[in-house]
Structure 1
Amino acid sequence: MSLTRFDDHEIDEETPFLPNHEDLNPSQTPLPTAQICILLTTWLADSVLSNSISPYLNQLVRELPEVGGDARKVGYYTGIIVHLTTFSKRVEVNQNARQVSLHYAAIAVTSFQWNRLSDHVGRKPVLLSCLVGTTLSTLLFGLSRSFWALVLSQCLLGAVTGHVGVVSSMTAELTDETNVAQGFSMLPVAWSLGRVIGPLIGGVLSRPQDRWPHVFSHSFWSDYPYFLPCLVAAIFVCLSLVISGFYLEETLDSRPSERLRLASPNSDSPQRGAGDSPDLEMSSNELDKPLPLRSVLTKPVVVTTANYALFAMLSAVAAVYIPLVWSTPVEYGGLNLDPASIGLGLSVYGGMGGFFQFVFFSHFVSRCGLRRVFILSIASCAVIYTLFPFENVVVACGGPNFIVWLLIILQMSSLYSWRVWGYSGAMNIYIPSAAPNRRSLGAVYGLSHVATSVSSAVGQVAADWLFAFSLTHNILGGKFAFIVFLGVVCIELGVSTQLPKNTWAHLEE
């Protein structure tokens, strides 16, 4: 293995960015709590907005002129608008295939450009611009009265969601080796809070003229019955916009330039092609400017992005299968749960996931190492797919309800460990450490978000199609789809071994 020397220290790709706990300096860098809390308001607003639509989306689509109240068409139209769908009591395989979301397509097209722009003009201007666009698209959604107006508003929303990567970039730039895990563990707390607030806003405030006819008696509320939850969600975004505009500090140039690490014989150099000498010492001028895209595609970036994309696919598949299998009739391999039970299970997961990550994630990273935590989170997702058949067997045999719910709790616990610790935690630490220099951090986040958007869309389509195919042809008793994705888990475990033990090594001057 090739080594890079700097100030009499040997550095390679296995040199930990987060040192082992026995090597930690007793004095940890204080976390810039105030600045991170400002970023959390953006995360909270985005979560509230995303989760406020789901309670009323199906009813909204059902009332569209194009649908005409036909419940069989709802899943088709919602699948195009966003990544939601409804499931009928009867599994009509060919009609319930999930459509590729145009919302995700818009994210894939624009995310890289927004994050790359932040490398040139700064994080804060891009963040504020995206928040303005998010506010406008949310209000447009509430004022939409046709299918294509809804599609346009969701495409606009997807086109301005570049701020998600910018927030991650700013969090990485506000932290260092000693507190990066703690900093990123705070982001899911805000997202989990939005999972609780968002559905309440969407469920309670939709069609206000039916609930409070004396207060909302104007004809506007009859013409636009879903504008109020969109307005309240937009207010959350506006509050985040105002707070960030006045109090958020630019982070792009807030830390000194870095002298790049690189020590893998297979790594790409920002000055050389792949396979050239890995020894690298960049001038301060080169470190202070964004690198060309070809130079950004180093081995650390490619390996990290590949892991992130596979992880996103598995996450999207789980998001499809949990409500789908739970709502599917028992004779088709499901649990036949009612919407209230499904909502309860998902709400408990949403509320508790961020809390446990904030409390335990940084502790486990310091004790076990980042790669080990990531691999364990991948392995835990195998439990999700494995438990579906067992849940169905218990229900089909008339087993006690508490056993079914114990299996569901185990399944949701595995989902929490997998998605929150691995997807939201470990990957958000690996990505900034993979960036060739700080001025290319936005580009790296942009590439990762493009990859995850595409893989999520592919995962959603594949999940629905394989589930339907397995049931239609009775392949392995309808369990073939679960076995396929267990194979994908094995592939992801193999790819994850290419990650370093902690993070890709960085050296600061």
Structure 2
Amino acid sequence: MDEQDPHPRLPSSLHAEHGFDDSEQTPLLKGNALPKPTRRPLPWRQLFILFWIQLAEPLTSQVIYPFINKMVRDMPITGGDEAKMGYYAGVIESLFSVTQALTVLYWSRLSDRVGRKPIILIGLLGSTLSTACFGVSTTFWGLVFSRCISGALNGNAGVIKSMMGEITDETTIAQAMALMPVIWNTGATVGPVIGGWLSNPHEQFPSLFRGPFWVTYPYALPCFVVAIYCAGTLMVTFVYLEEVAGHSKKFHKCCHKSMKLHNPASETLEVGDTSSSIPPFQPSQLPLSQVLTPQVRISIITYTLLAFLDIALRAVQPLFLTASPSFGGLGFTVPLVGTCLAAFFFASGVYQALAFAPLYAWMGPKRIYMLSMIMFVPIWILFPIMSASLGEGKAVNGATWVELALQIILYIIMDMGFSAAFIYIRASAPNAYSLGVTNGLAQTGVSIARAIGPASATSLFALSVQISRDTQIQFGPVLQWLGENLVYVIFILISFGAVMTVKRLPEKLEIPVREGAVEIDESEL
């Protein structure tokens, strides 16, 4: 007798008769293409709740950036040494991504078994408590504990992507995924605004915040505001978010009966008969070795490279804009830098919401992904060009502004890559019941990239400045230029490698249409 497949699929005849086309077939692995489905309306109510939940992550992670350096400097840990301030602040900033990388896979796998909604609620509860605690921490270790709790309990990034993949199909997934970067950019913009404007309320709004509490905890108010948002989102999620029907008992029973049709020796086997040598059907228990198919691996690698290049760019760009021309920058003021970044986030949000879905239908996912990754090359090249274009007295001129505007445009086009990456991750899952763990693995890689990206990028920037200012180092003109622009050269090379990686992705995807609940006449099985 042939060896039993531990994860059998429904026969094609059952799919044809009963509309079961979203069960265990996977878009990248299935052999028979389905007929082109009719476009269906987006489930806007559920998507709105998921976007509301997603906004909590950039708010909690970004709200601390305006005040973290001063907060750490005021603590006895630095001894008044501003050089140490940057080191300790960098540790605090990275802890969220580090702890999230260690735990996000666990939460994603657990969501495959117990459902998405309970894990999302735990994540929101963790964000609420940790953010509130961060605002009233007066010691370095208190900040460390709060930040670690925030990352460790928050696996929502992967779970939300899984849930969005389950409530959309190939006719709507591009439109839905195009909005995810918009939500992240919104939170990444609003979070620092909250952190900057609401810090030290006893000084900025003395008539409203007079008590000694606000003097003792000057950074509590922005953290409390974000914590209240997370708490409100938790209540909305508990009441209104609907669990995806992804573990239907009827579907499991149907799969067992389809096993009987293909295995005569099991004709007397009843569903749930634990005395048989065939184990109960447990599609959510795929081991990692079976989840990490070649399609999953290449999708995760490309997504991780995209996230690494993006977070490195986000770290270098404000540093380049604020650094003085003698240190390889443009010497912008902080408000002007904020205006430039806000312009990018606003323009990117509008572009993603309006342009991605039509471009996806026209170009397909791989061409969009390739175009997005290629954009990194001219983006990095423009940094030394802008520095070299400064006019008399190292002042910013018209050419510099044109180059900066071009860089922002390229950045906006690059941002489409995240929507394409989400679609590839969703489509590469070996089956519908491993979508959570697939997104968890992807988010683990991204969290690692976001933990090491900023530190590596800013360190290379500092090394480049040191080489350019060290008169004792004498190279030829070419080597000298490469040394002075080392950070850009390295990331250009990484960008070319990322483009080569995207080339290995499949040309076309087939996202199966989710049919919802279907009634199956078990007598026909």
2-side partners of 1:385 and 1:18: how far apart? 41
Q: Determine the structure 1 residue equivalent to 2:318.
A: 323
**Residue 200 in structure 1 maps to residue 200 in structure 2:** no
CA 1:199–1:454: 2 relative to 1, 3 Å: closer
Letter in 1 for 2:461: F
Q: How does 1:24-39 map to 2 (within 5 A)?
A: 27-39=38-50
Q: Determine the structure 1 residue equivalent to 2:63.
A: 52
Q: How does 1:225-374 map to 2 (within 5 A)?
A: 225-253=218-246, 286=281, 288-374=283-369
The Cα of 1:300 is off from its aligned counterpart by 0.9
Q: Determine the structure 1 residue equivalent to 2:3.
A: none
Comparing 206-215 with 434-443, greater Cα deviation is found at 206-215
1-side partners of 2:61 and 2:95: how far apart? 15
Question: Cα deviation per residue 1:357-411 (whole Å; 9 max; x = unaligned)?
Answer: 1111111000000000000000111121100011101115557633212211211
**Residue 495 in structure 1 maps to residue 501 in structure 2:** yes
Letter in 2 for 1:465: S
Letter in 1 for 2:356: F
| 1:412 pairs with one of 408, 413, 429 | 408
Aligned length: 460
| 2:465 pairs with one of 448, 471, 478 | 471
**Residue 440 in structure 1 maps to residue 434 in structure 2:** yes
Kindly indicate whether the alpha-carbon contact (under 8 Å) linking 2:169 and 2:513 is maintained by their aligned counterparts in 1: no
| 1:160 pairs with one of 149, 153, 168 | 153
Comparing 440-449 with 498-507, greater Cα deviation is found at 498-507
CA 1:252–1:169: 2 relative to 1, 3 Å: farther
Partner SS for 2:430: coil
1-side partners of 2:113 and 2:199: how far apart? 41
Partner SS for 2:76: coil
Letter in 1 for 2:426: P
Letter in 2 for 1:346: L
Kindly indicate whether the alpha-carbon contact (under 8 Å) linking 1:252 and 1:439 is maintained by their aligned counterparts in 2: no
2-side partners of 1:504 and 1:448: how far apart? 20
Q: Determine the structure 2 residue equivalent to 1:449.
A: 443
Comparing 409-418 with 489-498, greater Cα deviation is found at 409-418
Alpha-carbon RMSD across the aligned residues, in angstroms, is 3.0
Q: Determine the structure 1 residue equivalent to 2:88.
A: 77
2-side partners of 1:233 and 1:292: how far apart? 37
Kindly indicate whether the alpha-carbon contact (under 8 Å) linking 1:32 and 1:174 is maintained by their aligned counterparts in 2: yes
Percent of pairs with identical residues? 34
Q: How does 1:10-25 map to 2 (within 5 A)?
A: 13=28
Letter in 1 for 2:330: L
2-side partners of 1:403 and 1:28: how far apart? 46
In structure 2, the gaps of 5 or more residues are 1-10, 256-277, 469-478, 516-525
1-side partners of 2:399 and 2:121: how far apart? 49
TM-score normalised by L of structure 1:
0.83
Partner SS for 1:250: coil
Q: Determine the structure 1 residue equivalent to 2:417.
A: 422
Question: Cα deviation per residue 1:12-43 (whole Å; 9 max; x = unaligned)?
Answer: 95989999xxx965x41111000000111112
1-side partners of 2:136 and 2:121: how far apart? 23
2-side partners of 1:348 and 1:49: how far apart? 22
Q: Determine the structure 2 residue equivalent to 1:171.
A: 164
Kindly indicate whether the alpha-carbon contact (under 8 Å) linking 1:18 and 1:503 is maintained by their aligned counterparts in 2: no
Kindly indicate whether the alpha-carbon contact (under 8 Å) linking 1:14 and 1:505 is maintained by their aligned counterparts in 2: no
Q: List, as ranges, runs of 4+ consecutive aligned residues in structure 1 with deviation greater than 4 Å.
A: 5-19, 254-260, 283-287, 396-400, 504-509
Letter in 2 for 1:493: V
Letter in 2 for 1:113: Y
Kindly indicate whether the alpha-carbon contact (under 8 Å) linking 1:64 and 1:147 is maintained by their aligned counterparts in 2: yes
Comparing 64-73 with 129-138, greater Cα deviation is found at 64-73
Partner SS for 1:289: helix
2-side partners of 1:16 and 1:339: how far apart? 55
1-side partners of 2:494 and 2:436: how far apart? 29
The Cα of 1:73 is off from its aligned counterpart by 2.4
Kindly indicate whether the alpha-carbon contact (under 8 Å) linking 1:208 and 1:225 is maintained by their aligned counterparts in 2: yes
Kindly indicate whether the alpha-carbon contact (under 8 Å) linking 2:170 and 2:513 is maintained by their aligned counterparts in 1: no
CA 1:400–1:77: 2 relative to 1, 3 Å: closer
Structure exhibiting the larger radius of gyration computed from Cα positions: 2
Q: Determine the structure 1 residue equivalent to 2:176.
A: 183
Partner SS for 2:375: helix
CA 1:48–1:239: 2 relative to 1, 3 Å: same
Question: Cα deviation per residue 1:184-205 (whole Å; 9 max; x = unaligned)?
Answer: 1222333333234323321221
1-side partners of 2:62 and 2:28: how far apart? 39
2-side partners of 1:415 and 1:319: how far apart? 10
CA 1:464–1:186: 2 relative to 1, 3 Å: closer
TM-score normalised by L of structure 2:
0.81
**Residue 378 in structure 1 maps to residue 382 in structure 2:** no
Letter in 2 for 1:486: I
